[in-house]
Amino acid sequence: MKILKQSRLVEVQRFHLCFDYLDSPGAGYGFDCDAEGHPIMDAMSPTAQANYVACLSGRVGDSPVGPGHVDDVSYSYKEPAVGRCTCGVEVELGEFTNACGSCGGDYNWAGQELGPREDWGAETGEHWTECIGPFSDERE
């Protein structure tokens, strides 16, 4: 298998401007903002904008809310590699075992071709279906 795209770690930096209900810890409002706490108003629906204005007043309906604080809600995820199967079809290599949707060839996460499924587990007495994860293939 020829690797067409290497896997990579994608880091997403996000912040929320949060207002907590004073009478209900852990509950409140959060709005997308920059690192300094400036809200991204054009990303808000009209309802969210109205809630933001209410939060600035210190009260939403009958409930008092505390002053806004910025929470870092950044995250990262792994974008899987993509390889070209021997039959020419692109295969995403995001699982421990990855099957080509065209010819049925099996590859590991690094793009190495695996042997025939009927041989999987032979040395341990397992059936090949016991050697794959629950989400790695739909050919069973």
- Please tell me the predicted confidence (pLDDT) of residue 127: 80
Residues 52 and 94 grouped into a single domain: no
- The rounded average pLDDT for each run of 10 residues, N- to C-terminus, in the chain (140 residues) is 96 97 93 97 95 96 95 96 97 94 94 90 80 52
Residues 112 and 54 grouped into a single domain: no
Residues 38 and 52 grouped into a single domain: yes
Domain's final residue, options 37, 60, 75: 75
- Kindly report whether the global pTM for this prediction surpasses the value 0.85: no
CB 29 within 8 A of CB 18: yes
Query: Could you tell me if residue 40 is inside a domain?
Result: yes
Backbone angles phi, psi at 110, to 5 degrees: -95, 0
- Please tell me the predicted confidence (pLDDT) of residue 134: 54
- Please tell me the predicted confidence (pLDDT) of residue 64: 96
Residues 43 and 62 grouped into a single domain: yes
For the chain, the domain total comes to 2
Residues 63 and 89 grouped into a single domain: no
- Please tell me the predicted confidence (pLDDT) of residue 122: 79
Residue 47: domain span: 9-75
Tally the C-alpha atoms within 13 A of residue 12's C-alpha that lie toward its C-beta: 8
Residues 24 and 69 grouped into a single domain: yes
- Please tell me the predicted confidence (pLDDT) of residue 33: 97
